[in-house]
A = this chain, B = another copy of it.
Amino acid sequence: MIRLLDERNFPTKGLKLFAKRAAGNKVETKNFGEIVIEPFTVEAAQECDIVLLAVSGTFALEYAPLIVASKKGTTVIDNSSAFRYDAGIPLVIPEINGHLAAGASLIANPNCTTAVGAMALWPIHQKYRLKKVLMSTYQASSGAGAEGMLELEDAVKAYAKTGVVPAPKVFQHQLAFNVIPQIDAFQPNGYTKEEMKVAWEMQKIFDLKDTVKISCTAVRVPTFRAHSEAIVIETERPINASDCQDLLDTAPGVQVVDDPDSLIYPMPINAAGKNDVEVGRIRQSLVFGEHGLEMFVSGDQLLRGAALNAVLIAETCMASRAHQTEVETETETDRKSKKQKIEN
C-alpha cells in the first residue's frame, strides 16, 4: 500500500503510518520522506482526510466507526470483511461502482477473489447481462498472509532436503504438492465463507439484486502469489469469444492474455505483481452454447484484491473532495459575481 501510494504519486503532502508492534520503526518513501510509524490512536487517525485500514475485522469493527464519528470528514477505507455486507456501506471497485465512494465516510474493500473475477465480468455484464456465474478457483498461499507463503516455502525446502513435507500450522492440511478445497470456515449451506463472499460481494458490487445465480468452489493451490479462476457464464444476450475479447481489450484494469496457439494464457507466475487482471482462454461454452462463455483469469490478489483497490478508492475519494472544493469555490464565486451584478 505504501509502495503504491508512492509510485502513483498519491495527491497528499502528508502520509502517516500507524501500527502497534512496529511503532517507532522508520519507513523511507520517495514522495513523503522518512516516516516514523506512530502508535494508533483514534484522535490521530481523525486528523487524516483518508484512513486506509489494513487490520483484522474485529479491529475495524471497533475503530472504524469511532474514526468517522468525529465529523471532521475523515473517510475510512477498510480492507477487512467487517462492513462489506452492511447495506448502508458501499463495497467499491472504482472501475465498477466508484461513484458510491463520493461522500461516503466508510467504504469497504472487497474480497480478493471477488475483485479479480469482477474485473473480467463487469464489462461483460454491462453489455450481455449475466444470468449465471460458475467459478472454480486456484488460490495462492499468500491469500492466507505472509505466514501462508512462508509455510509453503519452508515445506518445499524441507521436502528438498529430507523428502518429507512437515506438518502444517497455517493451512488445514499440507499445501505443498497438494490442493485444499477449503478456504475460510464452512457455512451451514456447505459452502465456505470464501465461496459465499464471491456470491454475496458480486451481487452487491454489480447491484444484481439476486437476479444472477453465482456459485464458487474455492481451492488453495501451492503457488505463492496471484489467484486464478476458471469461470463459466451464461448471459441473457448472445455472446461470442471474439466480441468479448474486443470488449475486454478496452476495459480498465483488464489485460486480455489469450493466444493459445502461442501458449499464451493467464497464469499466476505472470499475473503476480501486475495491476491488471489477466483474462484468457475465452471460448464459447459447450454447456450454455451461444449464450455462454468460459474463461480463465489470473490476478494479483494482493494488488487488485487488496492494496491497489484500496488506493484506487482513496484516489476516487480525493478526486471527489477536490471536485467538491471546486464546486464550493465556484458557488462562492458565482454568488459574489451575482451579488456584483445585482449591485451594478
Identify the A interface with B (CB < 8 A).
Answer: 132-134, 136, 138, 152, 156-157, 159-161, 172-174, 176-182, 186, 189-191, 199, 213-215, 217, 219, 221-224, 228, 230, 232, 241, 260-261, 263, 265-269, 280-289, 294, 296
Copies in the complex: 2
Interface centre among A213, A261, A269 (most CB of B within 10 A): A269
Residue among B181, B223, B263, B284 making CB contact with A190, cutoff 8 Å: B284
B294 engages A217 (CB within 8 Å): yes
B265 engages A189 (CB within 8 Å): no
Across the interface, name the chain B residue whose C-beta is closest to A140.
B177
B268 engages A179 (CB within 8 Å): yes
Contacts of A287 in B (CB 8 A): 132-134, 213-215
B181 engages A265 (CB within 8 Å): yes
Bound-state Cα–Cα, A285 to B186, Å: 15
Can you identify 30 A-B contacts, CB atoms within 8 angstroms?
A133-B287, A136-B217, A136-B230, A138-B138, A138-B219, A160-B160, A160-B161, A173-B263, A177-B268, A178-B268, A179-B267, A181-B230, A181-B265, A181-B266, A181-B267, A181-B280, A186-B260, A189-B286, A190-B281, A191-B283, A191-B286, A213-B287, A214-B286, A215-B286, A215-B287, A217-B232, A217-B294, A219-B228, A221-B222, A222-B223
Bound-state Cα–Cα, A280 to B179, Å: 14
Bound-state Cα–Cα, A134 to B134, Å: 9
How far does the Cβ of A164 sit from chain B's closest Cβ, in whole Å?
12
B134 engages A221 (CB within 8 Å): no
A267 engages B178 (CB within 8 Å): yes
How far does the Cβ of A328 sit from chain B's closest Cβ, in whole Å?
46
Bound-state Cα–Cα, A289 to B217, Å: 15
